[in-house]
Chain A
Amino acid sequence: MFRNLFKPRVHESVAIASVFAASVALHVAWITNLLVHRSETVWNWFLLDPDLGPISGMYTKTLITFFVVLIVSWLIWRGRDCSHSRNRVFWFFIASIVMFLVMTLPFVYEFQLG
């Protein structure tokens, strides 16, 4: 009976926040990987489990980043018009995938002069 009175609502803020969170998480992942290979101190920061090495900390940090950014950006976009941000977030997402794929190539992150 009430179906015709209400329009199904889409929580676009959650969708846009998830795309943004995935983009940020990918950027954090490649930057972390680069730092882990460059600095002994950072390597030790990510050593949650000595048997596993820094990969344990890197996976944990990527997942935590995704959920934290998802919640924070959802709170920021909640109740606002997201239509202006759609394209910008989408291209940021594409850029983050490209950056991740390029920067995680072994000969790129292990490159050093001299």
Chain B
Amino acid sequence: MATARCTANVAVQPLFVTPLHMKAIIDDIDINNQGASGAIKAQVEDDFTQDISATNAAPVARSAFPFEATVAQGVDFSADIDSMAEDTECLGNVGIICDKTDAGCSIVVKYHFE
């Protein structure tokens, strides 16, 4: 299992790139908002390309947001693979995007490829 870390930012903070022939499975997300100035909404963003197919003649860029959590100020939120409703799977470039920029909120994502 690998780990990627960033702080809250309104711009996408890249975490990792999913290899071409694999999927990324997020095993655990920790959002530590104890040092931030307010509540923060954080989303996992997965940017991938839809390949050509029977109904799609040209590759198309897509963005998925497979996980989202709003964490109150002073809270250390954690969700692991058992507490998520389903496996959080990603297909492309994975990052974190938040509704605020705040260096006091740190986000740690644990993941693996399969």
- Bound pair: A and B? no
- Chain B residues within 8 Å of A, Cβ to Cβ: none
Interface residues of A, Cβ cutoff 8 Å to B: none
